[in-house]
Amino acid sequence: MDPMDEIRQTFFLECEDLLQALMEGLAAIEGGDEDPETVNAIFRAVHSIKGGAGAFSLDELVKFAHTFETVLDEVRADRMELTPALMSVFFRSADQLSDLVEAASVGDSVDAERMNAIMLELDALIDSDGSDAGEVEFEAIPLDFSMDFGDVEDDLPAPGGDSWTISFKPHATIFERGNDPVLLLRALAELGETEVTCNTDALPDLADIDTAQSCLSWDITLKGETVSEDDIREIFEFVEGDCDLTISFGAAADALPEIDLPPLGAPDEGEETGWELATPSQDADEPAAIPDLPELQEPAAAEAAPAETEKSSGASPARAESSRAGPTATVRVELDRVDRLINLIGELVINQSMLAQAVSNSGVPQDSPLMDGLDEFKRLTRAIQEGVMAIRAQPVKPLFQRMSRIVREAAAATGKSVRLVTEGEGTEVDKTVIERLSDPLTHMIRNAVDHGLEQTADRAAAGKSEEGTVHLTASHRSGRVIIEIADDGAGINRTRVREIAVEKGLIDPDAALSEAEIDNLLFMPGFSTAKNVSNLSGRGVGMDVVKKAIQSLGGRVTLSSTPGKGTTFTISLPLTLAILDGMLVRVADQTKVVPLTDVVETLKLNPSQVHGLSNADRGIMVRGEFVPLVDVACELGYRPPLDKLSHHVVVLTETEGGSRTAFIVDQILDQRQVVIKGLEENYHSVPGIAAATILGNGEIALILDVAALATGRNRLSDVIRAA
Amino acid sequence: MTLRILAVDDSRTMRDMVKAALASAGFEVHTADDGVHGLEVLNECTPDVIITDINMPRMDGFGFIESVRSIDQYKQVPILTLTTESAPELKQRARDAGATGWIVKPFDRDKLVNVIRRVAA
Amino acid sequence: MSALDGANSITLPDDLSGVFCEALKADLLARRGQPLELDASNVVRCGGQAVQLLVSAKRSWASDGQPFAIVNPEADFIRIVQLTGLQDELFPESGADT
């Protein structure tokens, strides 16, 4: 890869971290954090984004980051107070910055109107503050920079035959700052032929010499037809203020008027403008000195003096070491490498189980050292597997932080006052799961604000605080990740939900539904509670899509609701997408895997319990509950429907929301962990099949997609009608 | 003689860029994440030239420059500040802390290399 | 090869950067009043402070009426001294002063 492309990638990765730090900092401040280092950290995050963006000529991003940073700097310097209104601007600016970064990463542009609106707000803050207005313009102006010092004849080379005459008397400070006259003389000699005369008049006797002092001065004649004054100035750039310097051209130094910069004489004046090496890249905006805009120099210079006196107070980043610990040491690894490793471990797991099977087939006694070693091997393989999986695991924190933005936007769109409380942000989940959880979670959060929470007036009338709360919680529970979205709104209006379901023909008008069953109607395709589809949670996306998205991650979503108290959605996810605890079953001479999380129990089929005649509406009574029966072999096309069921086994499954399906299989073989091999990337998606795996004996086994196989048989309405 | 450079910047992007630019010019480049880290690695790499950012966590560029200058061995090692800041008072502060020169980001590779060659003994 | 028979001799270090000048000054002062020869064969790096120190030393020795010489300079050191315009002062062709 082109090194710059690689660095560009690094930049966008780093932006993610910086944006996260920015959001964290803002949230901390909102939560009452008054540590000045928090503001500093926020400032640095924006500043670093600006710095990197400049390197890649992401002009829009630079411009916005700069404006944002300028306002933050005012806060940092205690010149502006952090009001709730200002925090609101900061949050929106952070969102805008995040959008700009994302747009830049894909070469897109952002909504100009929104961008301008927030820019105006920020600009207004700067203008009202006044003091820094000059500096903003100072940097925002695109620059055509050519090492120009504003002198009249500076770009003229010395006319033929003439030479530059340079008089140079360094002060002691030149050494203190790590510069050295020898190096400057060397640089001059590189420009052209020099004739150097050293003036040693001021040199004291060895006994009296102060080695830190500068006692020599030089007169240099520089020949060089192509040398411009700029070339010479550039060499002395860092030492202006640390020396007396005159540059003139002509045969004799006094024959022509000197071309000189005014403030070179006195070492203690602030010669700010000279001490800088601008290193412009050709096309980037250059936040450097612009000498040919004199009106801008004035505020800048005026500012220098007061800033000087208050430099020990607030105007600077905290120099003291923060109590905050530095970032934890990390290694960045390409995801590809981790995935290759995961694949290899997968092979290892398969190999281990093949080995175990071979050993077991060979009739080795259970208590032999070989079996002990094999057990240890199995344990280690598992440990390695978990270790590698942990590499892919990431905290849900960034995901949750994005949700706070969703809440802000949703609250603004609905005119509600909403607080998002997050817990368990450190909970780690597979990276892919996190990525694919973003959309469904966004939708659920919007739903919680839009539908879950009441309007402010209604809340007040119900004696609740006007500010609604949405809790977003992540935790680990029995080998799965649980994510809860809980609002403290009015709860599900079950009467209304039922009416809608009837209107839409989803249920019979006189169906007897439990509360849980009514709640689960929300997940049915074609259901939408919104009276008018608002532009917020509407968008034609229903909870059924959310459910599908979560299912595709091997997850389940359930909900519970208490009238007047609120609604809680619970998402349960596997820790990883790469390993699955499965039940191995035999179906028409094929081995299939049923995900263990879907299995409730297994039963011996008793034909007397089977109700219904045709394959299509057959069901079974399990403890008084009617459950549809699905003949797996038939569904997958291995054999025609069986007329008569006899010595079969039933695997009772339960998918999200508690709907159950009984799968007919021929035999149950085993329970074990299998390595998931995706079909989609290797073959193509097959209805009813979630993925494949390789078993210990080398056989390929398909993993059943329980939810898909149940679909068509397991619609809630079917259950209800049958009941 | 290969010049050893210590580049201190809290931005990984910037460290990578400086490293790429200078390594391609034949310099030996060491990096540090902030001022504190910079001081930690100082004696491991005994740099000929130090390049430092200003805005950094834990210890900023001013603090770092002052700390380096307080060590006898590094009293005169060239220290270039590399930052997006261009405000005169900040430059003056860097000067007061003992910085050798000031380079504004985004930097041009050849310019940066030239400046380093110029200030390195 | 020594240019000054029986003189005190100091072998200069390879690095004559500013930070080493105080030590060099002390070394030089300790030999004040006696003939002195500085072996510059190792010097590859030399800053402005060392240059002025050497010139001052040379003049001080001259005012004391004592011989002083910098011998065996290598190319790097010669180049540095040339840049400062002091080659005639520090490396007079005779190799020894007075």
Structure tokens at A503: 């209107």
Structure tokens at C35: 């003939």
Three-class secondary structure assignment of C12-60: CCCEECHHHHHHHHHHHHHCCCCCEEEECCCCCEECHHHHHHHHHHHHH
What CA–CA distance (Å, rounded) separates A687 from A582?
Answer: 19
Give A517's contacts (C-beta < 8 A, 6+ positions apart).
Answer: A716, A720
> Across the interface, which of C18, C47, C85 has its CB nearest the CB of A197?
C85
Q: Are residues A25 and A174 in the same domain?
A: no
Q: For chain C, what percent of residues have pLDDT higher than 70? A: 87
Whether C3 maps to a domain, the answer reads: no
Q: Are residues A599 and A715 in the same domain?
A: yes
Which is more confident, A645 or B93? B93
* CATH number for C60: 3.30.750.24
Calculate mean pLDDT across residues A548-552: 80
Three-class secondary structure assignment of A12-57: HHHHHHHHHHHHHHHHHHHCCCCCHHHHHHHHHHHHHHHHHHHHCC
Domain boundary among A545, A574, A603: A574
Give the confidence band of A708 by pLDDT, cuts at 50, 70, 90. Answer: confident
Whether C98 maps to a domain, the answer reads: no
Lowest-pLDDT choice from A1-15, A73-87, A637-651, A671-685? A671-685
Sign of the CA dihedral running A356, A358, A361, A366: negative
Domain count, chain C: 1
* pLDDT in the model for residue B52: 93
Calculate mean pLDDT across residues A493-506: 84
Calculate mean pLDDT across residues B4-30: 90
Structure tokens at A690: 């979630």
Answer whether B95 touches A (CB < 8 Å).
yes
Whether A327 maps to a domain, the answer reads: no
Give the confidence band of A529 by pLDDT, cuts at 50, 70, 90. Answer: low
The domain ranges of chain B are 4-107
Q: Are residues A447 and A528 in the same domain?
A: yes
Which of B8, B22, B33, B86 to probe the A interface (max A CBs under 10 A)? Answer: B86
Strand ordering across the sheet containing C36-39: C8-11, C36-39, C68-71
* CATH number for A198: 3.30.70
Q: Are residues A695 and A548 in the same domain?
A: no
What CA–CA distance (Å, rounded) separates A210 from A172?
Answer: 10
Structure tokens at B54: 């200003």
* CATH number for A688: 2.30.30.40
Give the confidence band of B30 by pLDDT, cuts at 50, 70, 90. Answer: very high
Whether C68 maps to a domain, the answer reads: yes
The CATH code that applies to domain B4-107 is 3.40.50.2300
Residue C24 structural domain: 8-90
Which is more confident, A533 or A570? A570
Give A350's contacts (C-beta < 8 A, 6+ positions apart).
Answer: A675, A694, A695, A696
Which of C49, C55, C66, C81 to probe the A interface (max A CBs under 10 A)? Answer: C49
Give the chains touching B; criterion: ≥3 Cβ pairs < 8 Å.
A, C
* CATH number for A86: 1.20.120.160
What CA–CA distance (Å, rounded) separates A375 from A359?
Answer: 12
Q: Are residues A552 and A652 in the same domain?
A: no
- Chain C closest-CA separation from residue B26 CA (Å): 20
Answer whether A202 touches C (CB < 8 Å).
no
* pLDDT in the model for residue B20: 87
What CA–CA distance (Å, rounded) separates B61 from B14?
Answer: 15
Q: For chain A, what percent of residues have pLDDT higher than 90? A: 7
pLDDT over 60 (residue C58): yes
Answer whether C62 touches B (CB < 8 Å).
no
Whether A137 maps to a domain, the answer reads: yes
- Backbone dihedral angles phi then psi of residue A621, each to the nearest 5 degrees: -90, 120
Domain count, chain A: 5
Q: Are residues A388 and A464 in the same domain?
A: no
Q: Kindly give the interhelix angle for A133-140 and A294-309, rounded to the nearest 10 degrees.
A: 130
Q: Are residues A72 and A132 in the same domain?
A: yes
Residue A678 structural domain: 579-722
What CA–CA distance (Å, rounded) separates A621 from A607?
Answer: 11
Whether C33 maps to a domain, the answer reads: yes
Q: Are residues A225 and A362 in the same domain?
A: no
What CA–CA distance (Å, rounded) separates A388 from A338?
Answer: 8
Q: Model-level pTM?
A: 0.55
* pLDDT in the model for residue A8: 87
Whether A302 maps to a domain, the answer reads: yes
Whether A287 maps to a domain, the answer reads: no
Give the confidence band of A295 by pLDDT, cuts at 50, 70, 90. Answer: very low
Instruction: Please identify among residues 19-58 of chain C the ones whose CB lies closer than 8 Å to any CB of chain A.
Output: 21-22, 25, 28-29, 32, 46-49, 51-53, 55-57
> Across the interface, which of B12, B91, B107 has its CB nearest the CB of A14?
B12
Average pLDDT score, chain C: 81
Q: Are residues A435 and A539 in the same domain?
A: yes
What CA–CA distance (Å, rounded) separates A664 from A671?
Answer: 17
Q: Are residues A490 and A584 in the same domain?
A: no
Spell out which residues of chain C touch residue B75, defining contact as CB-CB under 8 Å. 18-19
| Residue with tokens 């569904």, as numbered in its chain | A635
Give the confidence band of A1 by pLDDT, cuts at 50, 70, 90. Answer: low
Lowest-pLDDT choice from A9-13, A204-208, A257-261? A257-261
* pLDDT in the model for residue B8: 94
Write out the H or E segment, with its range, that includes residue A569.
strand A566-574
A677 SS3 class: strand
Are the beta carbons of A277 and B115 separated by less than 8 Å?
Answer: yes
What CA–CA distance (Å, rounded) separates A575 from A573?
Answer: 6
pLDDT over 60 (residue A722): no
Spell out which residues of chain A touch residue C28, defining contact as CB-CB under 8 Å. 206
What CA–CA distance (Å, rounded) separates A76 from B57?
Answer: 14
Q: How many Cβ pairs within 8 Å bridge chains B and C?
A: 11
Q: Residue A291 to residues A144, A147, A298: CA-CA distances in angstroms?
A: 12, 10, 11
pLDDT over 90 (residue B49): yes
pLDDT over 60 (residue A174): yes
Q: What is the CA radius of gyration of chain B?
A: 13
| Residue with tokens 């001294």, as numbered in its chain | C81
Strands A579-587 and A566-574, bridge-based pairing:
unpaired
pLDDT over 70 (residue B92): yes
Q: Are residues A704 and A693 in the same domain?
A: yes
Region of A180 (left: φ > 0; alpha: ψ -120 to 50; beta: rest) is beta
Calculate mean pLDDT across residues A477-496: 86
User: Within chain B, how many helices (H) and strands (E) appear?
Assistant: 5, 5
Q: On the CB side of A549, how many CA atoms lie within 13 Å of its CA?
A: 20
Q: Kindly give the interhelix angle for A369-392 and A335-361, rounded to the nearest 10 degrees.
A: 160
Instruction: Please choose, from the candidates A123, A149, A121, the residue with its C-alpha nearest in 3D space to the C-alpha of residue A136.
Output: A123
Q: Are residues A614 and A565 in the same domain?
A: no
pLDDT over 60 (residue A476): yes
Burial A246-276 (b: 16+ CB within 10 A, else e): bbbbbeebeeeeebebeebeeeeebbbbbbb
Structure tokens at B118: 């110029």
Q: Residue A268 to residues A171, A264, B90, B92: CA-CA distances in angstroms?
A: 11, 10, 16, 11
Calculate mean pLDDT across residues A179-186: 88
A570 SS3 class: strand
Strands A418-423 and A468-477, bridge-based pairing:
parallel
Q: Residue A271 to residues A153, A274, A276, A297: CA-CA distances in angstroms?
A: 21, 6, 10, 12
Strands A217-222 and A164-170, bridge-based pairing:
antiparallel
